[in-house]
Structure 1
Amino acid sequence: MHDDTKKTAELLQQVNDYVPICSNLDTCLEYINQIKTEKVFLILSGQSADEMIDRVHDYKQVDSIYIFCINNIKYEHYLKEDHEKYYKLVGIYTEHEPLLRAIQENIRYLIKQSQVTINKALRTEDYEALLILRFFVIDLCENLRLKYDDLKQRQEQLGSSTVVSYRGSKLSSPEIYNLKYNIGKSIATNGFLSTSRSKDVANIFAKKGTKRLGVKTVIIEIHVDTTKLTT
């Protein structure tokens, strides 16, 4: 492995632990083709771009393509004259930092879209969609568990077991009544509940526009006693 390739792989591992490196075109195509549910962020060297981009662009497993090279001018036609054909090509990069930023931004977008899809699948009990998303759900749950463990440890260091978070939302009168009626009782949600430690952030979400009629702006204040939770 060349030093520059090794350095690129090490930097990418800060974003994702698993970064396979392929130096052979056919091996790379075979590897991508066997992927069933995951999405591939494909980084091509300038040397391999001309040979590979046509063959791999329309693979359904490939979410986005990035060209990392020394001379970006040589490959600009992919983004200009041929941009409609190569719509998965995000950009051409000559330095590591802009490349990493572009990948991280795309990951954040995918996570946001996936969370919307997951919650919709949970609400409608779309088991086929949940099966497709199962690896993301497992990873999300594991990361939430790690975040919770870290939060619990910090609260213990501060000498407090209670965590306060807020959720801004638009609720109908029946929904508000159901919440009030169930005070002191357990409430289950069939989805992930997004909250913020900042009341100001929750207020921003509460004031966002909606097409729903007859709803009221609500900020829910949630107190979590970490001593009573095991997971």
Structure 2
Amino acid sequence: MNESTSEQAKCEFLTLCRNRYPELSNAIDEFEQTYTVNDAIKWYTKDTFVYKLVNRALRTQDLECLFVLRFYLRNLTHCLKNEWNEWRNATNSGSIVTLYRGQVVNKEFRLDLLKRQGMLVSANGYLST
């Protein structure tokens, strides 16, 4: 993605955010004014519109929304790869690392998980901590 395409994709992303989360206009304005490529992980781990929007699009497999998110998802993937490489080089280890993140889920989802004990459960989303 070249710079002009990336800027256009960012504008599409911000428009989607403003349409979906008008009550979060201050946070969206902050994102617009301060966001850099290296901030992708920080914005994803904050409890704000970015995390909600990305995970909802992945969970529901909303291709139109995922296309609009391409600008951000590309940055997030790049940052995650960099973090992994830095960690691997610093520890000189290829061993498995277990990480956790809590997530609020509704009652129906919890009941559905309980019914599926002992079965394979697949997650549609970035697995993050």
Which category describes the TM-score, using the shorter chain as reference length?
Answer: 0.5 to 0.7
Alignment of 1:198-217 (within 5 A): none
The aligned residue for residue 113 of structure 2 is: 175
For 1:146, give the aligned amino acid: N
- Contact 1:122-1:191 at 8 Å conserved across structures: yes
Matching residue within 35, 40, 56 for 1:120: 56
Following superposition of structure 1 onto structure 2, how do residues 190-229 of structure 1 map, counting pairs within 5 Å?
190-195=124-129
TM-score calculated relative to the size of structure 2:
0.53
**Aligned positions of 1:1-231 closer than 5 A:** 35-39=7-11, 103=34, 112-156=48-92, 161-169=95-103, 172-176=110-114, 178=116, 180-182=118-120, 188-195=122-129
Distance 2:86 2:113 in 1: 33
Contact 2:54–2:69 (CA under 8 A) maintained in structure 1: yes
1:170, distance to aligned residue in structure 2 (A): 5.2
1:4 corresponds to: none
Q: Matched residue of 1:36: which SS? A: helix
Measure the CA separation in 1 of the matches of 2:112 and 2:56: 21
Cα deviation per residue 1:65-91 (whole Å; 9 max; x = unaligned)? xxxxxxxxxxxxxxxxxxxxxx8xx8x
Contiguous gaps of at least 5 residues in structure 1: 1-17, 19-30, 40-59, 64-86, 91-101, 196-231
What letter corresponds to residue 142 of structure 1 in structure 2?
A: H
Q: Distance in 2 between matches of 1:109 and 1:162?
A: 25
The one-letter code matched in structure 1 to 2:73 is V
The residue identity in structure 2 corresponding to 1:151 is W
> How far off is 1:181 after superposition?
3.1
| Higher relative contact order, structure no. (Cα contacts within 8 Å, ≥ 6 residues apart) | 2
User: By percentage of residues, which structure has more strand?
Assistant: 1
Q: Partner amino acid for 2:102?
A: G
Q: Report the TM-score, using the length of structure 1 for normalisation.
A: 0.33
Contact 1:155 1:162 in 2 (8 A): no
Residue-pair matches, total = 97
Superposed CA RMSD: 3.7
Identity within the alignment, %? 24
SS in 1 for 2:58: helix
1:35-75 CA-to-partner distances (Å, cap 9, x unmatched) read 53214xxxxxxxxxxxxxxxxxxxx6xx9xxxxxxxxxxxx
Question: Alignment partner of 1:153: what SS?
Answer: helix
Q: Name the CA distance, whole Å, in 2 between partners of 1:188 and 1:178.
A: 11
